[in-house]
Structure formats: C-alpha cells, structure tokens
C-alpha cells in the first residue's frame, strides 16, 4: 500500500485555477522532489497536503486512511489539526519561536500534545534529533544566536519531533547563503539515506536529482511529467520539462 495517494487535487483562488488535478503516489521511505517554475502551484500543493489550504476537489489518503475528500471536506479546526499531524512541514523561512531555545522549539509541540506525560522521553528525543542535525552544542541557544543554516536544522528537528508520516519541505534552502545551503542539504540527504519519507520542493536541481527517488515536474497547475528522479532530470521526455531544466543543471 502506498503511504500517500493524492488524487485529482484542484484548487482555485478567486478566478485562477492554481491546481488543475494533481495526482501521484508515494511509497514509505521514498523521497520525492517537486520541481517547476515559479507560480506552477508547488507551494499551494504542499499547503493543501498539510491542510493549511482546503482543496476544492480530490482526495488525500495516508496509509489507506482518507484524510481529505473534496466532496466532504472537514471544516472543524480540531479535526484539521489532527490530520495535519500526518505531515511535517519545513518552510523557506524557519519560523522558530524567538523566545525559546533550540531544544524548547523542538519539544514544545510534543510536550503540549502529551499533556504532561512522558516528558523526559520527549526531551531525550528532542536532544537526539538536535544531535542528529549536528546541533548538540547549540541546544540551549536562542534562534537569534544561530546562523540561518542552524535555525533551519532546528526547524527540521522540530518537524521530526512530531513523528510525521511524511515530511514536506518548501524550498528549505532558498533563504540561505550557498555556504549554509550545503549544511542543510547534507542533513536532508542523511534523512533520505535513513529512508525518511519526504517531499521536497526545491530549485536545487542537482540535489533534486541525486537525493530523491522520484521527481515530479509541475507546470501551470498540472503534473506534466513524473518518474525516477535521475532520469527525469537528466533526460526529460516533455519539451516543456527540457526547456525548464536547460541551464539549471550541469
């Protein structure tokens, strides 16, 4: 059974049909990269998957459980929050809580969800995740004391702390200098090597090709082409994909 089945997702903003029927499957342990021009709908798709936007049509199924059905969308905020927990989301801007340390940022949501039980396990897990992100000496620093790359790695640890089925990234390095980009891509690659299930929207074509199992090329609200990442990016079939990739990949 696929871990995620996305079927015919459509989304309109005012008069613009931004998603025109997106469908794809993903297997547990797989990394998918989503590429495509600015405005093609990549962020909107991730937001629909994470219930930050409500799609107009289509279905989203995780581990066989239909979380979203455009014909009967859930409107109850509490229900939405519960469904959102299946997905983790790491944004371009790290959005850490400035008043909390790195460790507090990572443990805050799980501690609230656990309502007091298992506190020491949650803190141990938070420390382990920060260590995995190469931040064992930064746990008690506040966001303003961290570089952009370090803040983004805290944001990744924070998303992992809620144990999502699928971790989504929306251009996780586009706010970073090239130097700091490398350190963030390195930890994402380590997660891919450990078979973390991930969807990564990125403009880093070499990374999308080398780290992902599968790639999806979105164009004007549709999936124009999808397939094994290496093949799609090195040898696309569609003229439009070729045009997009030309000059972006060495």
Task: Provide the binding-site residues for Mg ion, judged by CB under 5 A.
Answer: 43
By a kind-dependent CB cut-off of 5 to 8 A, residue 58 interacts, out of Mg ion, ligand ATP, none, with none
Residues that bind ligand ATP (CB under 6 A): 13, 18, 36, 38-44
Least separation, in Å, of the C-beta of 40 and Mg ion?
A: 9
State which residue, 31 or 43, has the beta carbon closest to Mg ion: 43
Cβ(136)–Cβ(62) under 8 Å?
Answer: no
By a kind-dependent CB cut-off of 5 to 8 A, residue 246 interacts, out of ligand ATP, Mg ion, none, with none
Could you give the count of Cα atoms lying within 13 Å of 98 in the half-sphere of its Cβ? 2
By a kind-dependent CB cut-off of 5 to 8 A, residue 117 interacts, out of ligand ATP, Mg ion, none, with none
By a kind-dependent CB cut-off of 5 to 8 A, residue 44 interacts, out of Mg ion, ligand ATP, none, with ligand ATP
By a kind-dependent CB cut-off of 5 to 8 A, residue 236 interacts, out of Mg ion, ligand ATP, none, with none
Least separation, in Å, of the C-beta of 233 and ligand ATP?
A: 16
State which residue, 130 or 232, has the beta carbon closest to ligand ATP: 232
Q: Report the 3 state secondary structure along the chain.
A: CCCEEEEEEEEEECCEEEEEEEEEEECCCCEEEEEECCCCCHHHHHHHHCCCCCCCEEEEEECCEEEEECCCCCCCHHHHHHHHCCEEEECCCCCCCCCCCHHHHHHHHHHHHHCCCCHHHHHHHHHHHHHHCCCCCCCCCCHHHCCHHHHHHHHHHHHHHCCCCEEEEECCCCCCCHHHHHHHHHHHHHHHHCCCCEEEECCCHHHHHHHCCEEEEEECCEEEEEEEHHHHHHCCCCHHHHHHHCCCCC
Least separation, in Å, of the C-beta of 201 and Mg ion?
A: 6
Least separation, in Å, of the C-beta of 166 and Mg ion?
A: 18
Least separation, in Å, of the C-beta of 19 and ligand ATP?
A: 8
By a kind-dependent CB cut-off of 5 to 8 A, residue 38 interacts, out of Mg ion, ligand ATP, none, with ligand ATP
State which residue, 43 or 196, has the beta carbon closest to Mg ion: 43
Least separation, in Å, of the C-beta of 170 and ligand ATP?
A: 7
């Amino acid at each position: 059974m696929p871990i995620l089945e996305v079927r015919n997702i459509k989304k309109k903003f005012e008069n613009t049909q931004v998603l025109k029927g997106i469908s794809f499957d993903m297997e547990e342990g797989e990394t998918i990269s989503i590429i495509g021009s600015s405005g093609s709908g990549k962020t909107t798709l991730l937001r629909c998957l994470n219930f930050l936007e409500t799609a107009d049509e289509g279905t989203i199924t995780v581990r066989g459980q239909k979380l979203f059905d455009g014909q009967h969308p859930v409107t109850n905020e509490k229900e939405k929050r519960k469904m959102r927990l299946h997905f983790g989301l790491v944004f371009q801007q790290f959005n850490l809580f400035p008043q909390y340390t790195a460790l507090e940022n990572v443990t805050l949501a799980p501690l609230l969800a656990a309502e007091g039980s298992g506190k020491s396990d949650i803190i141990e897990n938070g420390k382990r995740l920060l260590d995995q992100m190469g931040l064992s000496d930064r746990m008690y620093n506040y966001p303003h004391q961290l570089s952009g790359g370090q803040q983004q790695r805290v944001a990744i640890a924070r998303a992992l702390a809620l144990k999502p089925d699928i971790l989504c990234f929306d251009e996780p390095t586009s706010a970073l200098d090239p130097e700091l980009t490398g350190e963030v891509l390195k930890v994402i690659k380590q997660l891919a090597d450990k078979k973390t299930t991930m969807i990564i929207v990125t403009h880093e074509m070499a990374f999308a090709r080398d780290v992902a199992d599968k790639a999806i090329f979105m164009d004007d609200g549709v999936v124009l082409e999808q397939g094994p990442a290496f093949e799609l990016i090195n040898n696309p079939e569609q003229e439009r994909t070729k045009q997009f990739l030309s000059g972006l990949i060495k």
